[in-house]
Amino acid sequence: MSYEKFDIKKMAEALQKGSVMMAVHCESCGAPLFRHKDGRIECVNCGRLYRLTPGTGSVEELPPLEYLKEDAVSLLRDVEKLLLNTRDELKLRSIVEALKKLRDELGTG
Ligand SMILES: [Zn+2]
């Protein structure tokens, strides 16, 4: 297989960061997929995200909704960590109000 058409620089960067090149390829562009240290499976060539299909050795593209949910949950975990370390009462009050609004918005959505 020729790798000329792929973004070799991005693939090299992924390897340097400890990501592993997988034996499966992107359905869209044909580049080999990379498994990052945090478990995400990505085509670093075109940016599509994949997940392992349970019970098989194959992968499937992550639907945008799932990808967005994962992103949102990961952001919430970051927010939780930052909140627990905050000692600014005023800031906390405004964050609590913002979180209540967010919760209400999701609850009615
Ligand atoms: Zn791709």
Distance 68 CA to ligand 1 centre (A): 18
Identify the pLDDT of residue 1: 56
| Sign of torsion over alpha carbons 54, 57, 63, 65 | positive
How is the beta sheet containing 41-42 ordered, strand by strand? 20-25, 32-35, 41-42, 49-52, 59-61
Distance 11 CA to ligand 1 centre (A): 11
Check: pTM over 0.75? Answer yes or no: no
Identify the pLDDT of residue 70: 81
Identify the pLDDT of residue 108: 77
Identify the pLDDT of residue 85: 93
Low-confidence ranges of the chain (pLDDT < 50): none
Distance 38 CA to ligand 1 centre (A): 19
Identify the pLDDT of residue 29: 95
